[in-house]
Amino acid sequence: MSDIETLDYKEFGKYLRDDKVLADIEQDNIEREINLIGPSVGKLLYIVCKMIGAKKVLELGTANGYSTIWLAKAVGPGGQVIGMEYDPPTAEIAIGNFKKAGVSDIASVVIGDAMKYIKESQETFDLIFMDIEKEDYTTSLPDCVRLLRPGGVLFVDNVAFVTAGDFNDVLNSHPELETSFISGQFISHAPDEDAISISIKKK
Ligand SMILES: C[S@@+](CC[C@H](N)C(=O)[O-])C[C@H]1O[C@@H](n2cnc3c(N)ncnc32)[C@H](O)[C@@H]1O
């Protein structure tokens, strides 16, 4: 057992909330009870996009557009983020939030089933962010891998959910991916204690 004293993870929140629209969505969400990624995972997603020079991103599970806005800010003008949300009223809130954040030219939301969309799509993406029902993660994986460019990234939320357990095994042993799992306490993430995975598609 280590005797090193560490800061409480919430201390780092002060470094992550410099965007009013995102902070407002986090606040609004306390009432709506949508499970958002929060600012520490959001900023990580943003940085990963920047690191690989992502310009075209697919998001499975947009909700009210919080993570989509992080992605849109990362790809910037000329980039494209396609969000998927099957609940129409929630998708409408996302569209309103894109306007408030000034990213309507970059981010859009397709209202419908992400599983159907990825099955039919022939597009290529630099990064795919997966945040739908955890029971669907394993089924969606082959299409996600197919739609990623070589060197593209699959970023998955909530992999500490018990319902994602089988998925983690499949993801970790996928022959076309190299994966790391990061578990910890994430600020304003639902739940605070969870894990994410980041995979790169082999070239
Ligand atoms: C955890 S929330 C997404 C949160 C969002 N990614 C964020 O962090 O800001 C999951 C959303 O995915 C939607 N969803 C779940 N399964 C879906 C599917 N198969 N197709 C489209 N939307 C789905 C739900 O309606 C819900 O709004």
- Write out pLDDT tens, residues 62-103: 999 999 999 999 999 999 999 999 999 999 999 999 999 999
Q: Provide the number of structural domains found in the chain.
A: 1
User: Would you call 59 helix, strand, or coil by DSSP?
Assistant: strand
Q: What is the atom index within ligand 1 of the atom nearest the CA of 63?
A: 27
> Is residue 43 domain-resident?
yes
> Is residue 72 domain-resident?
yes
CA separation for the pair 83, 178 (Å, rounded)? 24
Instruction: Find the 128 Cα to ligand 1 centroid distance in Å.
Output: 14
Strand order in the sheet with 177-185: 107-111, 80-85, 56-60, 125-130, 148-156, 193-201, 177-185
**Mean pLDDT, residues 153-181:** 97
pLDDT digit string (tens) for 89-142? Answer: 999 999 999 999 999 999 999 999 999 999 999 999 999 999 999 999 999 999
CA separation for the pair 12, 30 (Å, rounded)? 20
Instruction: Find the 176 Cα to ligand 1 centroid distance in Å.
Output: 26
61 within ligand 1 shell (Cβ under 6 A): yes
> Is residue 78 domain-resident?
yes
Statement: residue 32 has pLDDT above 80: no
Instruction: Find the 5 Cα to ligand 1 centroid distance in Å.
Output: 37
- The parent domain of residue 147 ranges over 9-201
> Is residue 4 domain-resident?
no
63 within ligand 1 shell (Cβ under 6 A): yes
> Is residue 155 domain-resident?
yes
Nearest CA to ligand 1 atom 22: 85
> Is residue 1 domain-resident?
no
> Is residue 2 domain-resident?
no
Instruction: Find the 51 Cα to ligand 1 centroid distance in Å.
Output: 25
Which pLDDT score is estimated for 29?
A: 79
Domain of 58, CATH number, reads 3.40.50.150
CA separation for the pair 140, 130 (Å, rounded)? 9
